[in-house]
């Protein structure tokens, strides 16, 4: 394929070469006529003499010999370690005493899948899937998160002092805890993500009991229904609240079937796991909050941005709301 900035196409090269070889034009005159350098004109003329019109096509710029290329035996060792141990370029390089960039080039040359695309248990490439319509499958999960002490934690005061900056230590009559910060409790983010659209419904709740999980799903089911999404199936992990009789009864009442992931295989529920990571990176730990209340107040606006405005790479740069026409607040 001719480069888009090339001054000559294959037809132009042939005309240039014939002017020099067959019509006896001086190379400099032909070069001026076709607006190329005289060395270029000579090169195409010589190639025409050797190969005829077939010599006017582009050739590969790959060298015939690469003395600095990694030996084949070393490449085989790199591939063997990658396949057997599922290691990245840096760890393979340390083991084989190579440059990580060299290992990365070898892995790229042989089109080996990235570790992010592999199932660590089997070493096989993870099959990506997407349901055909909203509500066909909803991923549900719980993310446990430590609460922020009053006045801020280590992100504001540093790790040495952040643990002591809490309401428990503001009381002079209470002993100061030396090792680690006091137990400030946890928040539990109950999340439900639609497989097709990645639309998310989330709540910050005080625990992960079966009663809390069942009540959360009831509210999530109503929220999705208001958006025109009819939930058909729910996928969860094997947490105790999702194995409870109350959870099963709640889903049965709503006419929703339940499916659980295989034990120790969180990647099966990957879409909500990815949402959890996005939630932590872009909201929970995105900036230093001074109180837990301040962080929770920022949660609602962030979730709205995620659903309505944030570009999603799996959706071609569009937000989840773009796949749910009836979702309220889409233009806000």
Can you give the CATH number for the domain in which 275 is found? 3.30.420.10
- The answer to the question of residue 196 being in a domain is yes
306 and 216, same structural domain? yes
Q: Is residue 267 part of a domain?
A: yes
Say if residue 52 is in the same domain as residue 77.
Answer: no
Has residue 107 been placed in a domain? yes
Question: Do 200 and 107 share a structural domain?
Answer: no
Query: pLDDT tens digits for the chain (332 residues)?
Result: 566 667 788 899 999 999 999 999 999 999 999 999 999 999 999 999 999 999 998 888 888 888 888 899 999 999 999 888 888 899 999 999 999 999 999 999 888 867 765 655 556 655 566 788 999 999 999 999 999 887 765 555 555 555 544 444 444 444 444 344 455 789 999 999 999 999 999 999 999 999 999 999 999 999 999 999 999 999 999 999 999 999 999 999 999 999 999 887 766 788 899 999 999 999 999 888 989 999 999 999 999 999 999 999 888 899 999 999 876 555 45
The answer as to whether 177 is a domain residue is no
Q: What is the domain count for the chain?
A: 3
Q: Within this chain, do residues 207 and 263 fall inside the same structural domain, yes or no? A: yes
189 and 314 share a domain?
Answer: yes
Could you say which DSSP state residue 53 is in? G
Same domain membership, residue 198 and residue 296 = yes
Residue 158 lies in a domain: no
Closest Cα partner for 92 from 80, 105, 102, 78?
78
Q: List, as one string, the DSSP characters of 153-217.
A: -HHHHHHHHHTT-SGGGS-TTSPPP-SS-----EEEEEEEEETTT--EEEEEES---HHHHHHHH
Same domain, 255 and 283: yes
Same domain, 99 and 196: no
pTM of this prediction exceeds 0.75: no
Task: Please tell me whether residues 142 and 285 are part of one structural domain.
Answer: yes
Let me know whether 15 and 87 are in one domain. no
pLDDT in tens, 211-270: 999 999 999 999 999 999 999 999 999 999 999 999 999 999 999 999 999 887 766 788
| Domain that residue 52 falls in | 10-56
Q: Are residues 44 and 91 in the same domain?
A: no
Q: Give alpha helix (H) positions in the chain.
A: 10-21, 27-34, 38-51, 72-85, 89-96, 100-109, 154-162, 210-226, 245-254, 270-279, 292-297, 299-308
**β-pair type (138-146, 186-194):** antiparallel
Q: Are residues 104 and 229 in the same domain?
A: no
Asked if the structure places residue 1 within a domain, the reply is no
Digit-coded pLDDT (tens) for 219-235: 999 999 999 999 999 99
């Amino acid at each position: 394929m001719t480069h888009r900035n090339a001054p000559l196409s294959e037809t132009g090269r042939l005309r240039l070469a014939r002017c020099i070889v067959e019509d006896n034009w001086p190379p400099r005159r032909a070069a001026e006529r076709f607006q190329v350098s005289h060395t270029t004109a000579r090169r195409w003329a010589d190639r025409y003499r050797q190969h005829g019109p077939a010599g006017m096509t582009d050739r590969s710029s790959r060298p015939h010999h690469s003395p600095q290329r990694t030996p084949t035996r070393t490449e085989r060792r790199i591939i063997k370690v990658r396949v057997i141990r599922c290691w990245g370029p840096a760890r393979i390089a340390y083991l084989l005493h190579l440059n990580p960039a060299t290992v990365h080039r070898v892995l790229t040359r042989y089109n080996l899948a990235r570790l992010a695309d592999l199932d660590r248990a089997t070493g096989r490439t993870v099959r990506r899937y997407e349901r055909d319509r909203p509500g066909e499958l909803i991923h549900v999960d719980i993310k446990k998160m430590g609460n922020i002490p009053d006045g801020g934690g280590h992100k504001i005061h540093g790790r040495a002092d952040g643990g002591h900056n809490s309401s428990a230590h503001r009381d002079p009559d209470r002993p100061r805890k030396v090792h680690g910060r006091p137990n400030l409790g946890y928040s539990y983010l109950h999340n439900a993500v639609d497989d097709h659209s990645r639309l998310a419904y989330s709540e910050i709740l005080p625990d992960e009991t079966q009663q809390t999980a069942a009540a959360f799903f009831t509210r999530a089911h109503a929220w999705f229904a208001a958006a025109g999404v009819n939930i058909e199936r729910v996928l969860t992990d094997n947490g105790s609240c999702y194995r409870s009789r109350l959870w099963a009864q709640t889903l049965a009442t709503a006419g929703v079937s339940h499916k659980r992931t295989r034990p120790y295989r969180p990647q099966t529920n990957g879409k909500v796991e990815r949402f959890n990571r996005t939630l932590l990176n872009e909201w929970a730990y995105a900036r230093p909050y001074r109180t837990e209340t301040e962080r929770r107040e920022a949660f609602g606006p962030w979730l709205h941005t995620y659903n309505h405005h944030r570009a999603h790479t799996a959706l071609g740069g569009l937000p989840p709301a773009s796949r749910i026409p009836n979702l309220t607040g889409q233009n806000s």
